[in-house]
């Protein structure tokens, strides 16, 4: 049985639904693009500001530990919640594989985070890593970067220690609050992440932006959780104005991740 930290368990997976109805309310009013929501009076801060400013230290390197076998694994990354790592069928340690970090929506967990791309991982040869937030949602959604960055850094260091990762195809993505957090972390660490995949984001609140990752955004025109006119339709022009290469797609549905948009995001990420 593989081991990482204190636990690492192999899980079975089933077929994914054609449309992934991950309807998780974000519990917040979206702020203007590029600004953190000012919720200090409405809710307690989840964590004090992280002096790292949201910067990650982990980097892909030649693995020093045996890889996990293909399949879904539970990982202990030092939190009281479980992270997930999916190793695709056909993974070869001598061939660096693309990796996507996936972040869940508010009230979710790692399984909700990994689900949108899980059915595409084997065909595309994707490593998928889904950490959990320490609280109901990601720290930057409420106030600023905090312990979630430390946990993400720890998790990435474990993945890099066991698996050869293609540094030219290293993405971060998520749905709803996870999409907002993916944009915030991805733009802050554009020298690590080459691509950001944001499904129905609310905003972007990076620290000091570094690098120029490509950005994919999809959003439903009937989204009533994070209405499109107040979120992506404002966010996309701001990102393009800042010089980011953005592929933006709207679709006729609500606060969901349609399977065809997930497939589209994977194809765009790999090419």
Low-confidence ranges of the chain (pLDDT < 50): 1-48
Q: Which uninterrupted H or E stretch holds 250?
A: strand 246-251
32 within domain boundaries: no
* CATH code assigned at 210: 3.40.50.1820
- Would you state the pLDDT for residue 79? 64
99 within domain boundaries: yes
Residues whose CB is less than 8 angstroms from the CB of residue 87 and which lie 6 or more positions away in sequence, other chains included: 67, 68, 69, 70, 71, 73, 127, 163
- Would you state the pLDDT for residue 44? 33
Summarised one tens digit per residue, pLDDT across range 18-41 is: 233 333 333 333 333 333 332 222
Angle formed by the axes of helices 177-188 and 147-162, nearest 10°: 70
Report the domain count for the chain.
Answer: 1
- Would you state the pLDDT for residue 231? 97
123 within domain boundaries: yes
Distance between CA atoms of residues 248 and 47, nearest Å? 32
74 within domain boundaries: yes
Distance between CA atoms of residues 250 and 218, nearest Å? 6
Distance between CA atoms of residues 260 and 120, nearest Å? 11
The token duo for 189 is 């660490």
Q: Which uninterrupted H or E stretch holds 199?
A: strand 195-199
- Would you state the pLDDT for residue 153? 94
- Would you state the pLDDT for residue 27? 34
- Would you state the pLDDT for residue 49? 56
Domain with 98 in it: 45-270
Coil vs helix vs strand at 129:
strand
pTM of the model: 0.84
36 within domain boundaries: no
Summarised one tens digit per residue, pLDDT across range 42-67 is: 233 334 456 678 999 999 999 999 99
* Mean pLDDT value across the chain: 84
List the beta bridge partners of residue 248: 217
Distances (CA, A) of 50 to 16, 44, 160: 37, 16, 23
Burial class (CB in 10 A: 0-12, 13-18, 19+), 97: buried
Burial class (CB in 10 A: 0-12, 13-18, 19+), 238: middle
79 within domain boundaries: yes
User: Considering only CA atoms, which of 172, 215, 223, 190 is closest in space to residue 26?
Assistant: 223
13 within domain boundaries: no
254 within domain boundaries: yes
- Would you state the pLDDT for residue 52? 73
């Amino acid at each position: 049985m593989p081991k990482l930290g204190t636990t690492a368990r192999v899980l079975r997976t089933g077929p994914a639904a054609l449309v992934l109805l991950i309807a998780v309310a974000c519990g917040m009013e979206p702020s203007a693009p590029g600004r953190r929501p000012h919720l200090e009076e409405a809710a307690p801060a989840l964590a004090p500001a992280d002096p790292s400013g949201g910067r990650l230290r982990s980097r892909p390197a030649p693995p020093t530990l045996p890889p996990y076998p293909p399949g879904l694994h539970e990982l202990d990354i030092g939190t009281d919640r479980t992270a997930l790592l999916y190793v695709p069928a056909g993974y070869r340690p001598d061939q660096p594989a693309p990796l996507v970090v996936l972040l869940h929506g508010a009230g979710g967990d790692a399984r909700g985070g990994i689900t949108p791309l899980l059915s595409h991982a084997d065909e595309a040869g994707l490593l998928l890593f889904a950490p959990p937030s320490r609280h109901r949602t990601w720290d930057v959604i409420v106030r600023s970067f905090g312990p979630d960055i430390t946990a993400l850094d720890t998790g990435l260091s474990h993945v890099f220690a066991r698996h050869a990762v293609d540094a030219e195809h290293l993405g971060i993505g998520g749905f709803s609050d996870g999409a907002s957090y993916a944009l915030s972390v991805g733009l802050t660490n554009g020298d690590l992440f080459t691509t950001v995949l944001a499904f129905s984001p609310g905003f972007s609140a990076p620290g000091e932006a570094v690098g120029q990752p490509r950005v994919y955004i999809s959003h439903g025109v009937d989204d009533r959780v994070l209405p499109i006119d107040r979120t992506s339709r404002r966010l996309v022009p701001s990102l393009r104005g800042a010089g980011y290469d953005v592929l933006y797609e709207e679709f006729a549905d609500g606060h969901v991740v349609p399977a065809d948009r997930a497939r589209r995001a994977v194809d765009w990420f790999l090419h």
